Amino acid sequence: MKPEEFVLETRAAEISSRANPKVTGYAGLADKKRREADRLFLAEGVKLVRDALDARFPMREALISRDAAERSSDAVGLATEAARRGIAVTLLSDPAFEKISTEKAPQGIIAVLELPSEGEGDFDRWAAGKRLFMLDEIRDPGNLGTILRSAEALGVEGVILSGCADPYQPKAVRAAMGTLFRLPLWITDDGAGCVLRLKSAGRRVLAAALGGDDLILGEFEPLAGDCPVIGNEGHGISQSVLTAADGCLRIPMEGRAESLNASAAAACILWEYFRAFRGASDGKRDPSGPVRERKEF
C-alpha cells in the first residue's frame, strides 16, 4: 500500500523527524523510570501487536514505519484494525521508527501500551481462586519473560514477582511472547509478606531450594492451592521468603550439575503441577482456593 493511501484509510498522523518530541518520548520508554512516569510501555513486532489487540490490552497508539506501510500487509492490517477501534495511528519515517525500536531487525510495527497498576489493591482478593506461582529476585529480564511464558502455557493463573526485573522492559516483553497481555501479575518488594498472606489463607508455599525438610518433585502429592517459589539465578531464594515458606521443594537430578537455571527449574516444577491438575478445567480436579488446614512441614 502506498503510504498516502494508508494515511487516508487510517487517518494516521505523520512524523518524519527523529527529533520530534513524541519520537524522543517513546524512545525514552526503554528506561524503567520513564515507563513508570508515563505509565506506558512498548510491544514491538507483528506477533506482539496482534496479541495485544486480541487480548484487548489497553493501547494508546500504534506506530508503523513508512517501509512497513509499503511492504508489510501484516503491519498494515494491524494498524488498520487499531484505527478501526479508535486507537491513534502514526506513520513514522524509517529513521524516526528506528530511533524508537529496540529490535535489530524491526518489523515496522509497535504498540504503545498502558502500564498496568500491578501490586495495588487487595492481595487476598487478587490471589483468591488462582493457581499461583512466585518468582523471587529474578533479575535477568530474558529469564523472567521466558518463565512467565512457561507459566501461562502450564496453567498458572497468577504470578507474584518479588524484587524481580521489570517485566515491561523490552527484553522481558519479547521473551514473554504475549503472555504479559493475558497473565495477571502481582509486583511487590515484600515477598515474605505475600507468603504469609497465602499461608493465612490455607495455602502451602514451597520454596525451590535445598533444605532439611525437602519435598522431592515427583515424590509428593501437589496440592491444588500450592504456590511454588523460584529464586534468583545466582543466590537462590531470599532468606526472608525462604524462612516464611512452609518448606523446601527439590528437583531430583543426576550427574555432577549442582543446579538448574531458573527458567529450567521453573518449567520442571510447573510441568509437575500441570500434570497433576490438567483435568481441572473438565471438573476432574479443583485448582482453586484454600485446600487444607494449616499445618507445619
Domain ranges of the chain: 3-114, 123-282
The CA distance from 181 to 50, in Å, is 11
CATH 3.40.640.10 fits 3-114, yes or no: no
DSSP state of 221: P
pLDDT for 89-132, tens place per residue?
A: 999 999 999 999 999 999 999 999 999 988 788 999 999 999 99
> What CA–CA distance (Å, rounded) separates 230 from 140?
13
**Closest residue by Cα to residue 178 from 36, 74, 49:** 49
- Calpha distance 243→211 (Å, rounded): 11
- Kindly indicate the confidence band of residue 200, based on its pLDDT and cuts at 50, 70 and 90: very high
| Alpha carbon distance 106, 13 (integer Å) | 20
Q: How many helices (H) and strands (E) does the chain have?
A: 13, 12
Q: Are 61 and 91 in contact (CB under 8 A)?
A: no
Q: How far is CA 237 from each of CA 4, 227, 228, rounded to the nearest angstrom?
A: 55, 14, 11
Beta bridge partners, 64, equal 91, 109
pLDDT above 50 for 78: yes
**Vertex 114 angle, CA 48 and 187, to 5°:** 90
CA 144/CA 21 separation, integer angstroms:
31
Which 3 state secondary structure label does DSSP give 133? strand
Q: Is there a common fold for 3-114 and 123-282? A: no
> What is the amino acid identity at position 135?
L
* Superfamily of domain covering 123-282: SPOUT methyltransferase, trefoil knot domain (3.40.1280.10)
**What does the pLDDT read at residue 280?**
55
- Cβ proximity of 281 and 144 under 8 Å: no
pLDDT(288) > 50: no
The model scores a pTM over 0.75? yes
Residue matched to cell numbers 518479588: 162
Q: What is the pLDDT of residue 279?
A: 59
**99 grid coordinates:** 530511533
Cβ atoms of 233 and 163 closer than 8 Å: no
